[in-house]
Amino acid sequence: MKDPNSQSFAVAKFTTMHEAGCFVLPNPWEVGTALYLEHLGFEALATTSAGFAFSRGKPDGGVPLDEMLAHIGELVAATPLPVNADFLNGFADEPEDISTNVKLCIENGVAGLSIEDNSGNSAAPLYEKNLAVDRIRAARKAIDASGIPVVLTGRCEAWLVKAPDPFRVALDRLVAYAEAGADCLYAPGVKKPDEIADIVKAVAPKPVNVLVSGFNRELSLSQLADLGVRRISVGSGLAAVGWDAFIRAARSIATTGQFDNAFANAISTAELNEVFSKRD
């Protein structure tokens, strides 16, 4: 029997989860939130680049590779659940550097990782298509060479960078990323049911991940499942909820000098102690 704490066990489980049905892949931003999500019964987790960056006092994309790898490794070590890494643009532009960095990510025990096509260049926010495809191929090559079949998600940022006609751009690129070796396809920002259904159809039989956050929170698990979506992530959504509660409470104290409203909805430390003491 495989060790339930091993990477191979996590990868096998994560792969199987993509084969049928639809599951929620929530995004913790540090160990405590990861353990609480495990406590709630979620079967896999994904990192959030923005959520982690904010916890470090940095903007999304402002965390360097070594710090991100340490964070990913810490979450993987904290829970037996499969962990998918939000690996941004792979922390590199050129395909050969993508291969090197994907290898490092795999070595931190992940069950999956995503590579996006956001270049970080405001003048050309998406990598040129052929380069973007080559970057996915490089990630696939690194995964295959590792002998550990982690789930590779090809991610198109067309909506997030406000590309002209983002649906057409995303549809075209996601098909190309699937052909280049991505196991799962993802275009954060899509919210129209018909567009989601078209993406699912275009890349079938490969699974599709949909981001649900404030901009499309009316979508439900059952609705997305009916559209053929296999995986739902929430990105920085949970972190944003946490920040909202913190800011509201702190602002109330700062402006009123009162504490009753600030702490009215606070979870008890006893409840958290009970959850985390079970980890000992």
- In DSSP notation, 122-133 reads TTS-B--HHHHH
CA atoms within 13 A on the CB side of 165: 5
Asked whether 191 and 166 are in contact (CB, 8 A), the reply is no
Is residue 248's pLDDT more than 60?
A: yes
Torsional sign, CA 243, 14, 101, 180: negative
Domains by residue range for the chain, with CATH: 7-235 (3.20.20.60), 237-280 (no CATH)
Which of 89, 85, 93 shows the shortest CA–CA distance to 51? 85
The pLDDT value given to residue 1: 31
Query: What residue has token string 């992940």?
Result: 110
Q: How far apart are CA 229 and CA 56, in angstroms?
A: 33
The pLDDT value given to residue 2: 44
Query: What residue has token string 């990105």?
Result: 235
pTM more than 0.85: yes
Q: For residue range 92-118, list pLDDT tens digits in order.
A: 999 999 999 999 999 999 999 999 999
Question: Which amino acid would we find at residue 50?
Answer: A
Residue 102 burial (CB < 10 Å; 0-12/13-18/19+)?
A: buried
Q: For residue range 146-163, list pLDDT tens digits in order.
A: 999 999 999 999 999 999
Is residue 253's pLDDT more than 50?
A: yes
Q: For residue range 167-205, list pLDDT tens digits in order.
A: 999 999 999 999 999 999 999 999 999 999 999 999 999
